[in-house]
A = this chain, B = another copy of it.
């Protein structure tokens, strides 16, 4: 067991104080000078520890008189963004194959179906309808179509009115979107997607969970199929080139 760095240790201590609730949102930490004295470290070391916490969105700092480091009020949106980038990295680094990613994404989204059908309100339906009409616009760029795709699905999971589900799902959907885009740009048929999105909207509107799940399953099947086809043709092209 190698001894960790001092700054790492200090960061760990402070982090535990926050996670355990000994330091609560908007509490002010001692000034860097005070912390330095308290931990018997130099200001530079303390600052490195604080920067670690800041990178994890556990604290925010303010300059000037009566400034300092404050325990951050971590909100859902911020955490979601962080979750999404971490998932993105994870997926790209571990080279998850498309079928696995696709399966996970829709399994998770199906988990929202029943709750979304139960709790959806008019505003959610409106958001979904708005995105649907955007997606139907002729001449829409691929980028815009994909962005609207994400928004549509986020509106769907938000309809669960469960912030935990929203947080988990929206993070996952955003993280997997680059993979999805990759195939959208080349091969996805917008008509088929639009049809399924419409079915999903109507299912949620009718509070028909089974139909919503069925729509998502169809979307999964379709997307997986397109992806597989692409990979096959790419393999064929590659072996053709390398031969």
**A contact residues vs B (CB 8 Å cutoff):** 7, 11, 18-19, 21, 25, 44, 47-49, 51-56, 58, 73-76, 79, 82-83, 85-94, 96, 100-101, 103-105, 107-108, 110-112, 114-115, 162-165, 167-168, 172, 176
Contact partner of A107 among B83, B94, B100, B115, CB < 8 A? B115
Q: Given A100-B163, A164-B96, A172-B168, does the pair A90, B107 have CB atoms closer than 8 Å?
A: no
Copies in the complex: 2
Chain B nearest CB from A94 CB (Å) reads 7
Chain B nearest CB from A194 CB (Å) reads 25
User: Are the CB atoms of B100 and A162 closer together than 8 Å?
Assistant: yes
Among A55, A76, A94, A167, the one with the most B-chain Cβ atoms within 10 Å of its Cβ is A55
User: In the complex, which residues of chain B have a beta carbon less than 8 angstroms from the beta carbon of A76?
Assistant: 90, 94
The complex places the Cα of A96 from the Cα of B168 at a distance, in Å, of 14
User: In the complex, which residues of chain B have a beta carbon less than 8 angstroms from the beta carbon of A82?
Assistant: 86
User: Are the CB atoms of A55 and B51 closer together than 8 Å?
Assistant: yes
The complex places the Cα of A104 from the Cα of B164 at a distance, in Å, of 6
User: Are the CB atoms of B55 and A165 closer together than 8 Å?
Assistant: no
Select from chain B the residue with minimum beta-carbon distance to A88: B19
Chain B nearest CB from A2 CB (Å) reads 10
Sample of 8 A–B contacts (CB below 8 Å): A11-B55, A52-B55, A87-B164, A96-B164, A104-B168, A108-B108, A110-B111, A164-B176
The complex places the Cα of A167 from the Cα of B91 at a distance, in Å, of 11
Select from chain B the residue with minimum beta-carbon distance to A47: B48
The complex places the Cα of A164 from the Cα of B94 at a distance, in Å, of 10
User: Are the CB atoms of A100 and B164 closer together than 8 Å?
Assistant: yes
User: In the complex, which residues of chain B have a beta carbon less than 8 angstroms from the beta carbon of A48?
Assistant: 47-48, 51
User: In the complex, which residues of chain B have a beta carbon less than 8 angstroms from the beta carbon of A83?
Assistant: 83, 86
The complex places the Cα of A11 from the Cα of B54 at a distance, in Å, of 12
User: Are the CB atoms of A103 and B91 closer together than 8 Å?
Assistant: no
Chain B nearest CB from A204 CB (Å) reads 15
User: Are the CB atoms of B107 and A51 closer together than 8 Å?
Assistant: no
User: Are the CB atoms of B86 and A165 closer together than 8 Å?
Assistant: no
